[in-house]
Structure 1
Amino acid sequence: MAKCYVCGRRASVYVSYLGDYLCSEHFAEYFERRFLEAVRFYKLVERGERVAVAVSGGKDSLTTLYLFSRFAGELGVEVFGVAVDEGIAGYREYKLEALRSLAGRLGVEIIVGSFKEYFGFTLDEAVKALREKGFKVKPCSVCGVLRRYVMNHAAREAGADKLATGHNLDDEVQVFVMNALKNHVEGILREGIVSERAEEGDLVPRIKPLYFIPEKEVLAYTLIRNIYTPFVECPYIVYALRHPIRHWVNEVEDSSPGFKYRVLAVKELARKTARKPSRKPSRCAVCGEPSSRPLCKTCLYRAYLDERYRRVVEEKVGKLRFSTYGLE
């Protein structure tokens, strides 16, 4: 029987990159210590701030909400959750149920914004339109852009100083690999433990307190702390490039423990040494939100999916040629 290297009791978790076993109590302490160390070392929050936690109902976001709620007094912050209802039948309702259950247990306020409320259509309706158009753009791409819009807008309207997300080590490594495969240098340079995109006042700065914590450890922590997360996957994951990348990264990690940390170290080195393109903050000509282009991706996708909104956009920016954006 494996024993905890701290106290000698029966071990519950094996931390492969350390080569050590830990019991439930000492693993939870180790996990929480790493969360607090990341928050303090990188100055992710300041005392007196209002922190919004982006919560999907999955294990990572619920863990982030739980941790900020647990240590809110110690960190001197006020915490609330922001969720997005994309309108995915047979999926989102289960996640929101788990979220509301944990929020009630913690006594934390949850604000929910929906695609239907913001854009006039659900993701299911958007996917139907995308299918009719031949899937020139993947559902995950549209969902990601629209989710970020709703999340930022809802957090900003609620007076958030920071927007914390549940991105963990695995997420960061997978995104880095995908950006490298796509030669998306800007994406690599932009995304760190603190968002580099908060130069405009309307963008709530995003922070990632689980940035250095592996996905398996997050799962173990949810089991130890009784954070219930329904095991249901988004039905549109089959369209994502991320799925095979995730499988490959995990295979390499299993054969070479510490691989994910080495990849993250390469990413951080690239971010620190590369020359970041200087770009003046600008705004979308249609919605007025911060954007690096005259027409933000949110408005582009809305126009692509909704003929009525397309007319609104074209009144302000002229005739849209979707082929220019690779959508036709």
Structure 2
Amino acid sequence: MNCKRCGSKAVIRIDYANLTLCAEHFSEWLETRVEKTVKDYGMVAPGDIVAVAVSGGKDSTTLLHVMKKVSERMKFDVVGINIDLGIDRGTKYSSLSTELAVRNFELTGVNYKVVKLKETHGFTIDETKHRVKRPVCSTCGLVKRYVLDEVAKEIGANVLATGHNLNDMAVFVMSGYHTGDLQNLARLRAVSPGENGYIKKIKPLFLTSEKETTTYALVNKIPFLLDSCPNNPKVGGPTSDKLRRMVELTEEEIPGFMLRLVENFERRIRPFFEDLPRFNLGKCKVCGKPTNSDRDICSFCALKIKMNGGEVSNVVSGE
């Protein structure tokens, strides 16, 4: 394959765009595409401070490098956040993730903060596996959402960017259709406004495929963690894993399927969910953040109390 822009050797074929591009022109194409997404969806304004959550994987490291370049043109600031979740299981997964995140913070020259979950909140994700009934990936997601929001505010950011890519979003949409969970679909947004005490959250890569983020990381020699989380289900696992394979196989047969699925959902379908009944949010008695729990304690604080040997019922009753 030859690059359609310069005729040199191509590194990627983007079927839905009928494009073959060399490393240089692909990098330019992806950066321009992400910048257009940021502008089209009103993700960032000049003067904003955007905290980029970096796990050390290909998506988040690509996001960091691209957003740093976009920030120079759009006049906003970028800072980095990494959470050491304490996932080991013989792989030292979290420590390696943090090491690679820090290398990328230093390569891009951004200020950053590394948060060790054990030091700040008294437990690790590994320690929750046998003490909490909910699935470990669900617990991990809860922890990351809470801590990222907390830390982004602490370091002065007013926007939090995460590395969810097009494949992720397509699977979330299909999963919502499959289960009929309208409330969950309503919460699926490329841009979540800052409200109810939460920071504004954005997904600048939500129209960028995993193939594209991986290629960008490789051709730009971005260091990233190759191994997946040891807690991830193996092939043949939960429904979401099977939906991902189905969506990606469909993309091979119908190029652009994922892009149209996600764009149409965001622009044409999700607006209808605005009329759904909203939760009556209360305030967590422990941290003051919003909660829809009938215990008046948010899920994170309930988890933290349990992991640190306390009883949620005692906190609720004021003991």
Q: Does the alignment reach a TM-score above 0.5? A: yes
Q: Name the SS for the 1:71 alignment partner.
A: helix
1:237 maps to which of 228, 232, 235: 232
1:180 maps to which of 177, 181, 184: 177
* Worse overlay, 145-154 or 101-110: 101-110
Q: Name the SS for the 2:20 alignment partner.
A: strand
Q: Which residue number in structure 2 is paired with residue 324 of structure 1? A: none
Distance 1:181 1:302, change over 3 A: farther
Tell me the CA shift for residue 205 of structure 1.
0.5
Contact 2:93/2:229, CA 8 A, preserved across alignment: yes
Tell me the CA shift for residue 306 of structure 1.
4.4
Encode CA deviations 1:288-316: one digit per residue, 9 max, x unaligned. 112233332212333454432x2xx3234
* Worse overlay, 68-77 or 94-103: 68-77
Q: Which residue number in structure 2 is paired with residue 277 of structure 1? A: 277
**Which residue identity is paired with 1:216?**
K
Q: Name the SS for the 1:163 alignment partner.
A: strand
Q: Which residue number in structure 2 is paired with residue 162 of structure 1? A: 159
Tell me the CA shift for residue 73 of structure 1.
2.4
Q: Name the SS for the 1:271 alignment partner.
A: helix
Distance 1:93 1:30, change over 3 A: same
Matched, 1:210 2:212: no
Q: Name the SS for the 1:52 alignment partner.
A: strand
Contact 1:138/1:240, CA 8 A, preserved across alignment: no
Tell me the CA shift for residue 261 of structure 1.
1.7
Distance 1:38 1:103, change over 3 A: same
Gaps of 5+ in 2: none
Q: Which residue number in structure 2 is paired with residue 323 of structure 1? A: none
Encode CA deviations 1:206-247: one digit per residue, 9 max, x unaligned. 011111111100111111211111211111101764332222
- Relative to the length of structure 1, the TM-score reads 0.88
Q: In structure 2, what is the Cα distance between the partners aligned to 1:41 and 1:181?
A: 29
Q: Which residue number in structure 2 is paired with residue 325 of structure 1? A: none
Contact 1:169/1:215, CA 8 A, preserved across alignment: yes
Q: In structure 1, what is the Cα distance between the partners aligned to 2:239 and 2:146?
A: 22
Distance 1:266 1:48, change over 3 A: closer
Contact 2:98/2:114, CA 8 A, preserved across alignment: no
Encode CA deviations 1:153-193: one digit per residue, 9 max, x unaligned. 11111111100111111111111222333322112112211
Contact 2:31/2:70, CA 8 A, preserved across alignment: no
Q: In structure 1, what is the Cα distance between the partners aligned to 2:79 and 2:145?
A: 17
Contact 1:39/1:45, CA 8 A, preserved across alignment: yes
Q: In structure 1, what is the Cα distance between the partners aligned to 2:217 and 2:246?
A: 24
Matched, 1:290 2:286: no
Q: In structure 1, what is the Cα distance between the partners aligned to 2:283 and 2:180?
A: 25
Distance 1:296 1:180, change over 3 A: farther
2:304 maps to which of 302, 305, 311: 302
Q: Which residue number in structure 2 is paired with residue 25 of structure 1? A: 24
Tell me the C-alpha RMSD between the 2 structures: 1.9
Q: Which residue number in structure 1 is paired with residue 195 of structure 2? A: 199
Q: In structure 2, what is the Cα distance between the partners aligned to 1:148 and 1:96?
A: 17
Matched, 1:151 2:153: no
Q: In structure 1, what is the Cα distance between the partners aligned to 2:105 and 2:121?
A: 26
Matches within 5 A, 1:1-328: 2-89=1-88, 90-130=92-132, 136-196=133-193, 198-200=194-196, 202-238=197-233, 241-268=239-266, 269-274=268-273, 275-293=275-293, 294-308=296-310, 310=311, 313-318=312-317
Q: In structure 2, what is the Cα distance between the partners aligned to 1:279 and 1:126?
A: 28
* Worse overlay, 80-89 or 100-109: 100-109
Tell me the CA shift for residue 281 of structure 1.
4.5
* Worse overlay, 256-265 or 7-16: 256-265
* Worse overlay, 12-21 or 174-183: 174-183
- Percent of counterpart pairs with the same letter? 33
Count matched residues.
Answer: 308
- Relative to the length of structure 2, the TM-score reads 0.90
Tell me the CA shift for residue 70 of structure 1.
2.1
Q: In structure 2, what is the Cα distance between the partners aligned to 1:236 and 1:243?
A: 13
Q: In structure 2, what is the Cα distance between the partners aligned to 1:60 and 1:41?
A: 21
Gaps of 5+ in 1: 131-135, 320-328
Contact 2:3/2:9, CA 8 A, preserved across alignment: yes
Q: In structure 2, what is the Cα distance between the partners aligned to 1:3 and 1:176?
A: 35
